[in-house]
Amino acid sequence: MTEATPWYATWTQAVTDFRSEEAEGGFGNVTVRMTAPASLSGSRVRVELSNRFGDEPVRIGRGAIGIGDRFSEVAFDGLSSTEIPPGASRWTDPIDLAVRHSDELVVDLYLPEPTPYATAAGFSFSRSSLGDFVGACSFPLEGTAPHTVDQSREYPAANTGAESEPEGTGWSLPPGGPFLRAIEVAGVEARAVIVALGASSTAMGWPQYTAALLPADAKIAVANRGIAGNRIRLDAPQSTPSWGRSGLSRFDEDVLGTAGATHLVIAYNSNDWGLPGRVTPMTEMPSVDQLIEGYQELIDRARAAGLEVILATVMPLAPELLAEPKREDMRQALNAWIRRSGHIVVDFDAAVRCKSNPSRLTAKYAAPDDTHPSVNGSKRLAQAMVEVLQRLKLWPVEDV
């Protein structure tokens, strides 16, 4: 008996509950085009589509996967269409497609019936004008003439909010897109699959920028499992379900469920102690010991599964949080524990903090809210991550 083909994640995101969000309307008789960068090469591809948080079945009328202008239609258990029940996922059947490191993979889905925007993740996507445009080279954007071509394929997308902002200073968080949870490849032997578990600063793209900095022959995938607003210990409040289940709650699904996972990067923001008393009850404020216990449980579960763990220090807080010294004291105490924990550390705090005022982000690396990393900031985090991976000697390397 021959062994099953090993599959590896080349791109992932963490899906979450967008049912109460108003940023995107539902779909009906439209095609959605989703783009994601491949971090790992391969000769075969399959895609996971999720209806994890939907209340109704999602009907996929037709789908295709492409690179550039080359599209191949996909099947689901041999059929061209499928229905994804609430709470479930569906994989496409594998297709032969040569994928190279840093290729932009395009996934088209035709949604023939009214479909709520319920389960989503962070990546670039577009919706068509009415009709089935799966695999179309000329993709008519919603509200445009059929000849209009969608050229929005850069990821992570810099949603700056102002054209006059200097390059790299705007937001790196892409708009949330529907259904797409994972893209896997086969036909390659990956040296490592690194899973990044975290909140908004992770979702905003440093894993993708890290993958882009690595040479193709490194054969390393970097899988993003970040969710904006996410916490380690507690699930999202009912008022904001898109902040997702806690890192502890979703660990098995988002970390152990990542194909080929070898390493875990725990890269959280300050949400666990920054949200209580502001947008969640003060009773949810943890102690430093409770924060460390949450990290330690993630570490123990990862090690039990054979994963090597990398801890990221927590970057400077939002300016309004600095008015409460206790919160900054918690950040400093947690970072001190991370640095002396004996684990591999990627020092995101040191990479982007201001030298003259270490409790603030360097202006060059700060997004417009002075809290999250800008495009430049996300790229700086990626450089710090690559430096750690080089020290681990995960691949034969002279220079990156």
77 Rama class: left (phi>0) / alpha (psi -120 to 50) / beta:
left
Q: How far apart (Å, rounded) are the C-alpha atoms in residues 37 and 104?
A: 5
Q: What is the pLDDT of residues 8-59, one digit of tens each?
A: 999 999 999 988 777 678 899 999 999 999 999 999 999 999 999 999 999 9
Domain 190-392: give its CATH code.
3.40.50.1110
117 and 9 Cβ atoms separated by less than 8 Å:
no
What are 124's strand-pairing partners? Answer: 35
Q: At what angle do helices 375-392 and 206-213 cross, to 10 degrees?
A: 50
Q: What is the pLDDT of residues 178-216, one digit of tens each?
A: 899 999 999 988 999 999 999 999 998 899 999 999 998
Q: How far apart (Å, rounded) are the C-alpha atoms in residues 287 and 296?
A: 14
Q: How far apart (Å, rounded) are the C-alpha atoms in residues 201 and 391?
A: 23
What are 223's strand-pairing partners? Answer: 195
Each domain of the chain, given as residue ranges in start order, spans 1-189, 190-392
pLDDT tens for the chain, 400 residues: list them.
344 689 999 999 999 998 877 767 889 999 999 999 999 999 999 999 999 999 999 999 999 999 988 999 999 999 999 999 999 999 999 999 999 999 999 999 999 999 988 887 767 788 999 999 999 988 989 865 443 333 333 333 333 333 345 666 666 655 568 899 999 999 988 999 999 999 999 998 899 999 999 998 999 999 999 999 999 999 999 889 989 999 999 999 999 999 999 999 999 999 999 999 988 999 999 999 999 999 999 999 999 999 999 999 999 988 888 888 999 999 999 999 999 999 999 999 999 999 999 999 999 999 888 888 999 999 999 999 999 999 999 988 665 4
CB atoms within 10 A of CB 303: 13
> According to the model, what pLDDT value does residue 166 have?
61
CB atoms within 10 A of CB 147: 7
Query: Quick one: CA dihedral 135, 259, 182, 105, positive or negative?
Result: negative
Q: How far apart (Å, rounded) are the C-alpha atoms in residues 357 and 334?
A: 19
